Amino acid sequence: MADGPPATVVNARIGLLLRMRARTLGNRVRQAALDAPIRLATAAGMILLIWMALYGMFHLVFHMIRRTPLEATVAFPMVFSFFFAAMLVLLTFSNAILAYGLLFSRREAAYLLTLPVPPLDVITLKFLECVVLSSWSMVLLGLPLMTAMANLADHPVFHVLFVAFFLAFIPIPGALGLILAWAVAKYFPRRAMKAATILAAAALFFALMYGVRSMRMGDSATEVWLRAFLSRMGFVEAAFLPNHWVAAGIDHALHSQFGDACLYLGVTLANAFFLSWIAVRIVSAKFGGAYDHAGAFRNR
């Protein structure tokens, strides 16, 4: 008699899901290489070109700044703090939009929900996909920045350390974006795009207003203006923000303070793991309700 599998408790399927995803990616690349090799080569060449141009630009800038040690002491941590703060905001929104699409709009999530797969595995897969997909631009922009910076350090181990900081940071906006996408699906399913657009527009508006106000504070060429501007933007370097951990860690690494750099790397990694774990757990535990809520309006 047909009674399905022998009532097996289906254990974690994340390995199977990841293998399947790797196979689809392999097939996609193989197909592109066979069907449109010139297009694939052009895309790869352009990415390499952009990467090298960015690396060259950052390399020049950092060497110029380094010629004046006093400015370098102030500028380097600020550059990284602002860079990672901007990335934190941008990647959170980017992850939220991707996570919403992958979890609540695409048919794959519905298909997986009809299979004996624990929701935790589905959410983990989608979280990893979001982090990879949303972070490619950061890899394109950030890696040349980090590599150019690493070249200023005296010890080759800092190359590894800088990349580690970079990778440790990426899951943090991923986790925040996942929670944001779930909250939108749960509480604003019919107005998901509208809500996301309004939120993004409001964030951009306030950022612009803040920037314009900061610029208008006085003569932009004076030291007073610079001090006031840095003072206004001081919140970006607050000790509880992830961008501060990364910037401080890089700064310590640059000054050969290996122990302190590792401490900040540990803080970043621990928070990245914890936030990711919390986000994936919460969303998988509450996914059914959010999917139902979002899907109910889509599938009448």
Partner 1 sequence: MSEQTDSREPAIHVAGVSKSYGRQLAVSRLSLDVHRGELFAFLGPNGAGKTTTIKMIVGLLAPNEGDVRVCGHEIGSNGIAAKARMAYVPDQPFLYEKLSGREFLHFVAEMYGLTIAERDRAIEELIRRLDLLEFLDHLTESYSHGMKQKIALAAALLHRPAVLVIDEPMVGLDPRSIRTVKDLFLELVRDGGTVFMSTHALEIAESIATRIGIIRKGELIAVGTLEQLRRQARREHSLEEIFLQLTEENCG
Interaction site with partner 1 (CB under 8 A): 1-10, 13, 16, 20, 23-25, 27-28, 31, 107-108, 110-111, 113-118, 288-289, 291-292, 295-297, 299-300
Sign of the alpha-carbon torsion through 117, 130, 205, 247: positive
Instruction: State in angstroms the smallest separation of the CB of 192 from partner 1.
Output: 15
Query: Which has the closest alpha carbon to 235: 114, 85, 96, 126?
Result: 85
What is the per-residue burial (b if ≥16 Cβ within 10 Å, else e) of 126-156?
bbbbbbebbbeebbebbbbbbbbbbbebeee
CB-nearer residue toward partner 1: 78 or 120: 120
Query: Which has the closest alpha carbon to 77: 263, 234, 269?
Result: 234
**DSSP SS3 for 155:** coil
CB-nearer residue toward partner 1: 186 or 244: 186
CB-nearer residue toward partner 1: 142 or 189: 189
CB-nearer residue toward partner 1: 96 or 283: 283
CB-nearer residue toward partner 1: 51 or 101: 101
Instruction: State in angstroms the smallest separation of the CB of 235 from partner 1.
Output: 41
Instruction: State in angstroms the smallest separation of the CB of 132 from partner 1.
Output: 16
Instruction: State in angstroms the smallest separation of the CB of 105 from partner 1.
Output: 13
- Tokens 């996914």 belong to 287
- What letter represents residue 88's amino acid? L
Instruction: State in angstroms the smallest separation of the CB of 120 from partner 1.
Output: 11
Instruction: State in angstroms the smallest separation of the CB of 189 from partner 1.
Output: 10
| CB neighbour list of residue 192: distance below 8 Å, 6 or more residues apart | 100, 104, 184, 185, 294
CB-nearer residue toward partner 1: 101 or 118: 118
